[in-house]
Chains A and B, each alone.
Chain A
Amino acid sequence: MIVLKRLALWFGLPAILIAVWWAFTAQGVNFFVPKPDKLANTFVTVWFSEKFFTDVMPSMGRLLISLAVSLVLGVALGIAIGLSRTLRWLLEPLLEFIRAVPSTILIPVLLLLIGINDAMKITVIVLGCLWPILLNTIEGVRSLDEVLKNTALVYRLRGFDRIRYLVLPGASPLIMAGIRHSLAVGLILLVVSEMFASTDGIGYSIINFQNRIAIPEMWSGIFLLGIIGVLLSVVFQAIQKRVLGWYYGLKEASNDG
């Protein structure tokens, strides 16, 4: 009974929505909205074809490389800036300004400077994804517990050891929060950079379908983005659960007592 009820709660609303959508498009009059079965068919024929290798894979590759670069840069810079007051003072206003620039507006300039290639897209995405990770790392490093810092000093954790055993794990809850933010920003920038200037990729495909007024295909692209978004967040949550297992345990323990 409980299982049934849960299933109904999980899939009830999507089922109702799809049914309404079906009823609404049954007459086949709406130009902008395809029927659900037509869309499902289109989705399979469009994306489970060579397009998967020529467009989906390149997009995912750009996104993952950019995220990796942002992570390394953001954490490394964040630790350096978080640990040094002088660096913080020196860079804070500059970073504050660069961060405030809505990163998609950089695409035309980077296009001129770098050209239409993967390096341009990766630069754009990194310029957007870097900030949440960087700022959260700085904050994470600065909010390290005073007693824990003293403990590390007393046991002479220095240099790399100090970063590996104290700073990185201590800042990791905030770093992970930054990464989650970066995922959403990264997907936006990936799509825009591919829409604005590209010869392949999901964003390029969607805008291409629009230009050809291929409505169901265009919708299937939007759905693909949704699926990628869900997948990214599932994978991220699995990783986060592993990396921050101690943190959730600690929080639960301090809530109990």
Chain B
Amino acid sequence: METQTPILSSVAVSTLPTRGHTARRAAQWTAAGPYVLGVAGILAALIAWELFSAFGPVSQHHLPPPSVVIPTFLNNFTFTQFWLTVGQTMWAWFLGLTLATFGGLAVGLLIGSSSLLRTGTHTTVEFLRPIPAVGLIPLAALLFGPRIGAELLIVVYGCFWIVMIQAMYGITDIDKVADDTVRTLRMTWLQRVRHLVLPTLLPYLMTGIRLAATVALILAISSELIVGTPGIGRAVAQAQLNDNPAAMIALILTSGLLGILVNLIFRFIERKVLFWHSSVRSEVAA
């Protein structure tokens, strides 16, 4: 609105007879603008990177230009080893997220359904939750060594709280409505779950899982980077040891792509599962 008016009015005044034409052009711009400018933005960033690499203060070896990195990045796709590495990261991500989701859901539902349990566990939860999962990296390394167990411990610890808290909020939210509604409608237990518990709980749960999915990827890669569990993180650390910045940056691009993929998948699932819910359209933090 605020940027649209000047474009419209300034043109409309100068070329009065063709106002209809101008309006059509403005409408076309509204439709196409995001794509045109979005691509332009990415291209400009790539050009800036290329120039910075060539003329900037850091050596071109340490910061290779996109004209070197992008071929490396694409070339990676032809190697089995690359797909294996990506697979290892995604497998740890998936396993950790699944465990954390079921664990967090179970504990969250249990605690959330009783106000006694909620109060009783409050101090403990409020102390354990802020411990950053990466703080457990040394412990995980000692317990498991550079194996997937270490990665899972970190991912599950980090994601468990997120899902648990959301499940708790969800089930607490039901209680308020439930007393009034269910009693008047005389629902059976199954009907109650289907018509009341799930619809209230799902939005909270989906938010929790979506947040956890992003965090899980960060934690998985962090643990690979430091503990050396197999995956993209370790590959980056190895590329650093081999003094191969191009390979490092190509892997970073890959991780960004994976991040976007994770986002897209969860947005898609959320839209399918919660198409009726307003949170799908606008996210506002609690």
Query: Judging by beta carbons under 8 Å apart, are B248 and A108 in contact?
Result: yes
- Tell me which residues across on chain B come within 8 A of A91, comparing CB atoms: 41
CB of B141 within 8 A of CB of A192, answer no
Within 8 A of B (CB), among A128-185: 136, 139, 143, 174, 177-178, 180-181, 184
Q: Count residues on chain A whose CB falls below 8 Å from chain B CBs.
A: 70
A101 contacts partner chain B, Cβ-Cβ < 8 Å:
yes
User: Is the pair B130, A230 in contact by a Cβ cutoff of 8 Å?
Assistant: yes
Number of A-B residue pairs with CB-CB distance less than 8 Å in the complex they form: 192
| Nearest 3 CB-CB pairings of A with B | A229-B130, A100-B259, A177-B285
In B21-43, the 8 Å CB interface with A consists of 33-34, 36-42
Residues on B with beta carbons closer than 8 Å to the beta carbon of A96: 260
| A105, A209, A222 pick with most chain B CB within 10 angstroms | A105
Residues of A within 8 A of B134 (CB): 188, 191-192, 195, 203
Instruction: Assess whether A79 is interfacial by the CB under 8 Å rule.
Output: no
> Which residues of chain B come closer than 8 Å to A29, judged between CB atoms?
none
Does B179 touch A at the CB level, under 8 Å?
no
Interface residues of B, Cβ cutoff 8 Å to A: 2-4, 33-34, 36-42, 45, 58, 62-63, 116, 119-124, 126-139, 141-143, 217-219, 221-222, 225-226, 232-233, 236-237, 239-240, 245, 248-249, 251-252, 255-260, 262-263, 282-286
**CB nearest neighbor in A for B136:** A222
Task: Please tell me if the beta carbons of A226 and B252 are within 8 angstroms of each other in the complex.
Answer: no
A–B complex contacts, Cβ < 8 Å, 25 sampled: A9-B116, A9-B120, A13-B123, A13-B124, A32-B142, A89-B33, A93-B41, A100-B260, A102-B221, A105-B251, A106-B252, A108-B239, A109-B240, A109-B252, A111-B240, A177-B285, A178-B285, A191-B134, A192-B134, A195-B226, A207-B138, A210-B139, A218-B139, A219-B139, A229-B132
User: Which residues of A does B touch, CB under 8 Å?
Assistant: 6, 9-14, 17, 32, 83-86, 89-94, 96-109, 111-113, 136, 139, 143, 174, 177-178, 180-181, 184, 187-188, 191-192, 195-196, 203, 206-207, 209-210, 213, 215, 218-219, 221-223, 225-226, 228-230, 232-233
A209/B138 in contact, CB under 8 A? yes
CB distance from B142 to the nearest CB of A (A): 6
The smallest beta-carbon distance between A67 and chain B, in angstroms, is: 15
B226 and A188: CB pair below 8 A?
Answer: no
| Nearest-neighbor residue (CB-CB) of B141 within chain A | A210
Nearest-neighbour CB distance to chain B for A17, whole angstroms, equals 7
Q: How far is the CA of A12 from the CA of B116 in the complex (A)?
A: 12
Q: How far is the CB of B240 from chain A (nearest CB, A)?
A: 4
Chief secondary structure at chain A's binding surface? helix
Residues of B close to A14: CB separation below 8 A: 123-124, 127
B137 near A101 (CB under 8 angstroms)?
no
Is A222 touching B41 in the complex (CB atoms < 8 A)?
no
Nearest CB of B to A66, in Å: 14
Q: How far is the CA of A32 from the CA of B257 in the complex (A)?
A: 38
Please tell me which one of the listed residues B40, B131, B143, B237 contacts residue A226 in the complex, with CB atoms under 8 A apart. Answer: B131
> What separation, in Å, do the CA atoms of A206 and B227 have in the docked complex?
13
Q: Are B121 and A89 in contact (CB under 8 A)?
A: no
Interface residues of B, dominant DSSP: helix
User: Would you give the shortest CB distance from B259 to chain A, in whole angstroms?
Assistant: 3
Given A89-B34, A100-B260: A94 and B41 interface contact (C-beta under 8 Å)? yes
B2 nearest in chain A by CB position: A83
How many angstroms from the CA of A188 to the CA of B240 in the assembled complex? 22
Verify A206–B123 contact, CB threshold 8 A.
no
B42 near A101 with CB under 8 A, answer no
Q: B263: which A residues are within 8 A, CB to CB?
A: 100
- Residue from B58, B119, B122, B130 within 8 A of A184 (CB atoms): B130
B260 touches A210 (CB 8 A): no
Q: Which residues of B contact A10 (CB under 8 A)?
A: 119, 122-123
Asked if B255 and A101 sit within 8 Å, CB to CB, the answer is yes
A60 to chain B, nearest CB (A): 14
Which interface residue of A92, A108, A219 has the most chain B CB atoms within 10 A?
A: A108
Residue on A nearest B118 in the bound complex, by CB: A9
In the bound assembly, the distance between CA atoms of A136 and B286 in angstroms comes to 13
When chains A and B are docked, how far (Å) is the Cα of A232 from the Cα of B138? Answer: 23
Q: In the bound complex, how far is the Cα of B58 from the Cα of A112, in angstroms?
A: 9
- Is there an interface contact between A108 and B225, defined as CB atoms closer than 8 Å? yes
Separation of A139 and B122 alpha carbons in the complex (Å): 32
A197 to B127 CA separation, bound complex (whole angstroms): 28
Indicate if the CB atoms of A98 and B256 lie closer than 8 Å. Answer: yes
Closest A-chain residue to B238, C-beta based? A108
Whether the Cβ atoms of B255 and A105 lie closer than 8 Å is yes
Contact present for A104 and B259 (CB under 8 Å): no
